[in-house]
Structure 1
């Protein structure tokens, strides 16, 4: 697969003039390939938000390099690089600027000088991709939380980005809204090979990723598949990360004498094991 984003020994401090100052990001390296879904997880202050700011060019590393589409991110190519990155933030209300859904999706396109006919085409296409094309003339603030985030995703998609960054994009949603957004992103990946970078506290969301980067105190503590990272178990809990519900329930059941074969990442795995081990004899 083709490399689309990488950190090479990246470090950043908000107080570089202070000797031995704590680094918000310290010597972090990783690579994301086209079409992957990567989740960055960690407690508050672990460096996740700083990494997003570095990727989007709001901050530049004091050490190391960031590569986007294999090009080093610099002040000279920043604006061109940003056209390759779509951002969806935690609170969709803070992103809306248009009076209607279609106005809002068209806003960035208009600012970037996209011709009117092309703009109309992209607005309709991107809203259809997130199943919001029947809401063209609705006022964004009257939508549900999940619908608002899907409109925000449509606005990002209309710019034809190579990478979609979800910065705690489901944190303020109820379970139904969260499911709507995550299902939409999964479908987009399957249809378009969109690369997704998810910054999240939600371990159930992180389980959807191909790989997880676990950050602690500005450093990359672990990297691997969800199974590999969450197999660290209590060590992650020690650093402030909650384990998936199925893993916690598995430990609780075993502690109370229920026979189970192994550890379980999902509720489906746990239910199947319970059925096989205890009810299908």
Structure 2
């Protein structure tokens, strides 16, 4: 796979008068390959928000380097590199600037000087990708939380980015809205090969990733598949990260004498094994 994003020995420390001082990062390195879904997880103050700001160029590291598609990020090429990234933020209401859904998706395209005919094409294609093509003329404030985030994703996709960055994009949504957004991103990745980087504390979102990067105290504490990371079990709990429901349930059932192999990342996998191993005749 081709390398699409690389951070090498990143370090950043806020000045003492900045309230985010606890979010500094130190000696963080990792690489993202094209088509991957990487989730950065960690408790509040672990440094993941600072890392997100460094990745999208809102902050420049005081040590180390950031490269996107083999191009080292600097002040001269920052806007060109940002054009290859689509960002979806935490609060969808803060992202809307257009009077209608299609106006909002078109906003960034207009700012980038995309010709009108091409812009109309991209708006319709992007909204179709997130199953919101029937809401072209709706006012964004009348949409549900999940629908708003899907429109925000469409706005990012219309720019045809190489990387989609979700910065706590599901944290303010109800369970239905969260499921809508995650299903949309999951299908988009399968259909288009889009590279996804999610900064999150939501375990359902993290479990969709190919790899997890677990931050603690500004450092990379662990990196691996969701299974490898959550197999750390109580060690993660001590550091402020919860465990997925299936993993916690397996431990409780095993304590009660129920025979289970473990390693389940979804409730469906757990239920199926309980049925096959213990009840099916």
Verify same fold: TM over 0.5.
Answer: yes
Distance 1:58 1:181 in 2: 25
Aligned to 1:249: 249
Mapping 1:176-187, distance limit 5 Å: 176-187=176-187
Aligned to 2:44: 44
Where structure 2 has 5 or more consecutive residues not aligned to the other structure, the ranges are none
Aligned to 2:3: 3
Aligned to 1:264: 264
SS at match of 1:131: coil
Which has the higher mean CA deviation after the structures are superposed, 65-74 or 7-16?
A: 7-16
Aligned to 2:117: 117
Aligned to 2:146: 146
Distance 1:278 1:62 in 2: 56
**Match status 1:102 vs 2:102:** yes
TM-score, length-scaled by structure 2: 0.96
Distance 1:176 1:182 in 2: 10
Distance 1:204 1:105 in 2: 27
- The answer to whether the 8 A contact 2:22-2:46 is kept is no
- Listed one character per residue, the Cα deviations across residues 115-173 of structure 1 (whole Å, up to 9, x for unaligned) are 11111111111001101011000000000111000000000001110000001111111
Following TM superposition, by how much is the alpha carbon of 1:270 offset from its aligned partner in structure 2, in angstroms? 1.2
- The answer to whether the 8 A contact 2:203-2:244 is kept is yes
- Listed one character per residue, the Cα deviations across residues 76-106 of structure 1 (whole Å, up to 9, x for unaligned) are 1001111000000111000000000000001
Distance 1:158 1:265 in 2: 33
Distance 1:5 1:202 in 2: 23
RMSD: 1.6
SS at match of 2:27: strand
Distance 2:155 2:218 in 1: 31
Aligned to 2:159: 159
**Match status 1:88 vs 2:88:** yes
Following TM superposition, by how much is the alpha carbon of 1:22 offset from its aligned partner in structure 2, in angstroms? 6.6
Aligned to 1:273: 273
- Listed one character per residue, the Cα deviations across residues 1-48 of structure 1 (whole Å, up to 9, x for unaligned) are 11000100000000289xxx8771110000000000000000001111
Distance 2:4 2:262 in 1: 36
SS at match of 1:30: strand
Aligned to 1:203: 203
- Listed one character per residue, the Cα deviations across residues 190-228 of structure 1 (whole Å, up to 9, x for unaligned) are 111100001111112111000000000100010011111
SS at match of 1:264: coil
Distance 1:119 1:69 in 2: 25
Following TM superposition, by how much is the alpha carbon of 1:263 offset from its aligned partner in structure 2, in angstroms? 3.8
Cα distance change of structure 1 residues 242 and 22 upon mapping to structure 2, 3 Å threshold = closer
SS at match of 2:66: strand
Runs of 4+ more than 4 Å apart: none
- The answer to whether the 8 A contact 1:88-1:152 is kept is yes
